[in-house]
Structures are given as C-alpha cells and as structure tokens.
Amino acid sequence: MARMSTLYEIIYENVRVGELYEKLDRNWVRCFACGHCCKIPDGQPGVCKVRHNRGGTLYVPWGYVGGIQCDPIEKKPFFHAHPGALAYSFGMLGCDLHCGYCQNWVTSQTLRDPAAAAGPMRVTPAELVLDALRQRGRVIVSTYNEPLITSEWAMAVFKEARATGLVTGFVSNGNGTPQVLEYVRPWVDLYKVDLKSFDDRHYRQLGGRLQPILDSIRQLHEMGFWLEIVTLVIPGFNDSDDELTRLAEFLAGVSLDIPWHVTAFHKDYKMTDPENTSAETLIRAGEIGNKAGLRYVYAGNLPGLVGDLENTRCPNCKALLIERFGYLILGYHLTSNGCCPSCGSSIPGKWASAFQGQITANPFAPRTRPHSDLLVLNS
Ligand code: SF4
C-alpha cells in the first residue's frame, strides 16, 4: 500500500492538464470551470485552491477521490429520477464557495481551512465504476465537493460509467459558465442545483454571485439536463416571505415542472447562530412555492413533520403518485411510462419502466463500505 504524503502534495501532484481554460499573455491563464472565471498568474491557484497555473498551463485534480458513499438517490435529493435507486456518490476536494454551514466542509474547504483534513483515496475511473457496480449503484453522482471545479475528472469517470449503463449526475452549487455546461452536457443526465438565496449580498457572503447561478439554471433547463433545485432554508438568512417568493417566481419563470426542495437547516460548521429550521417554516416555504405555480414542491430533512410535502401528487387530479417518509419510499403508483394512473397526465422526470424497490435494506445508511482496493491513505 503506497503512502501519499501531505494534502498539499496530493493536490498539486495528482493532476493533469485541464481542458476548461485559455492561455493569456505573460503565462497567465483564464479558467472557465466555474462562474468565478479566475484569471490566474503563473505559480498561483484559482479561488478554489485546487486548479493551478504552472508555467502558463492550468493543472486540474486527477486520479483520486476525497470521499465515497452509497446513498439513496432521494438523499441527493432527486425525487423525479429513478426513485429507490442507490446513488454511488464520490467527491474530490475543494470548492469555489465557502459557505459557513457546509455539511461537507471536510472535503470542500481543503486547503482553505486547516481543520478540513479529508484523507484522499487514489483511484482510476474504471476502479470507481467497478466499485459502484459492486455496491449495486444504479446512478453515479459527483458530489461532496463542487463537481464543476473537477469536471475533467468527473467526465472521465462518467464516460466509463455510461459504458456500463449507469446513470450520471452532478450535485452542484450551480455556479457554472456556458463553457463548462457545454463540456459536461454529453455525459451528465441529472443535475441538482443548490440555490442558496435570492439575494446577491448573501451570495457574496458565501463567496459567489447570484447572477451566474441564475444564468446556469436557465441554461441547464434549456439544454435538457434533468434539473432539480434545492434551497436550504436558514432562519434569518434566506427565509423571508419576500426572498422565498422571488426565488420561487424565478424558478416558475424557467419551468413550472422543476422540482423545488426546501430543506431544513441544522447548525453545522461555522454557522451555529441561527435556530434549526422548524417544520412550520418549511411548510410556509412550500406554500410560497405552490402559490408561485410550481407543481412539485418538497420539504426535506424533517421526516413525518411536513405533511404532504414529502409526497408526489399529480398536479392535474391530485392522485398520490409517490408516498415518502424522508428518503424511504412507502408507495409508488406511476405507470410504466411515467404517467398518473388516475388521469393519464405525464409526470416530468426520468422514470424507470418499473419501480424496482428501494435497493438498500436501510435507506438511511450506506449498504457496504467502499471496496478496500481503492484506499490509499495520506499520512
Ligand atoms: S474552478 Fe472556478 S475558482 Fe477554480 S480556478 Fe476555475 S474559475 Fe477559479
């Protein structure tokens, strides 16, 4: 078993030449992998800390993962894509934002926060896909860090994955560019965007801007990705009626068929001041989504406390189509071609021809540990 040395060395040695950048004068480069579009001088990294300019060439992360886990696809959350499937989830390291409440900060804030010290595992795309199949994954998802900033690696994995019939997905903050979305389009089936706020000042606190994310959401929908949106509702940060209404109306303006998940915040990482989100607040957010005309609004992270907001109903006749408790599917009633059995309305999504049951015996925990052949620990 080989030893990888320091985190810095792992990130700066396990690289290859990037595909999402242009060369500029005086050995500068401009990266297109996320909405920051960093202009990077020789010898420096971009804002994400993991893509760096060496001698006028942009080097990007390659050949490792920062974490692997098998999750129910409902946890990503995707509610209109292969319900019950196991989503084999992997991530690398680093992020282009620095959200104070990040639940994956150990991998996302590597090299930015000294306390973030994930142990990477060296792996090839083929080994990763084999591990996904061994663990009975039907979907493979790039998540845990921001997948856009490691798009070259994710595409190498997804090309292998597609050859075996796996469905592919990104769980992303949506801070994209037209170039990166064009780059990933041929290989990504499902795309979840975490729309964190509808206030540019709030986005700047998190290290981003609102506009590139709104532009990306529009573009993702136009390009035909299967798109779902999640908003973590944080008391005092983004839970005002006004902000939630503007956000929901923006989504409704893109498409009434985009599922919108409003999920409950709990104290995490550096954000420990706001109270945890109550069920009443989520139900209020759900009502705002419905009032904006969105047909599929879901409330997450408080199983059993948010009434019908965990279920999918036919927007036409209100028949119960998928009944859930948290990530657990209690009832599935769509027809084999994804229609309401009661009135025949077509329900948007990526449905299998038949519900194959939920693969995990316990959908709240990974079924098995990652295959040990993949593990190469850092010191
Ligand atoms: S991925 Fe984003 S943050 Fe990282 S170097 Fe490229 S543009 Fe900058």
| pTM of the predicted protein model | 0.91
Structure tokens at 17: 């030449």
The alpha carbon of 22 and the centre of ligand 1 are apart by a number of angstroms equal to: 12
| Pairwise CA distance, residues 125 & 131, whole Å | 10
Q: Which atom of ligand 1 is nearest to the CA of 49?
A: 4
Distance (Å) of CA 241 to CA 102, 222, 251, 262, 289: 24, 28, 15, 13, 11
- On the question of pLDDT at 108 being above 80, the answer is no
pLDDT digits (tens, 9 = 90+) for 356-373: 888 764 444 333 344 434
Counting ligand 1 atoms within 8 A of each CB, the residue from 11, 15, 32, 34 with the most, and so the one to mutate, is: 34
Going by CA atoms, what residue is nearest to atom 2 of ligand 1?
34
The alpha carbon of 51 and the centre of ligand 1 are apart by a number of angstroms equal to: 7
Per-residue confidence (pLDDT) for residue 316, from 0 to 100: 98
| Pairwise CA distance, residues 78 & 71, whole Å | 11
Q: Which atom of ligand 1 is nearest to the CA of 52?
A: 5
The alpha carbon of 184 and the centre of ligand 1 are apart by a number of angstroms equal to: 16
Amino acid at 338: G
Average pLDDT over residues 114-142: 87
Structure tokens at 223: 């390009």
| Pairwise CA distance, residues 241 & 248, whole Å | 10
Q: What residues line ligand 1, using a CB cutoff of 6 Å? A: 31, 33-34, 36-38, 46-48, 51, 96, 149
Distance (Å) of CA 268 to CA 202, 207, 232, 233, 360: 18, 18, 12, 14, 27
Q: Going by C-beta distance under 8 Å and a sequence separation of 6 or more, which residues neighbour residue 240? A: none
pLDDT digits (tens, 9 = 90+) for 161-212: 999 999 999 999 999 999 999 999 999 999 999 999 999 999 998 899 999 9
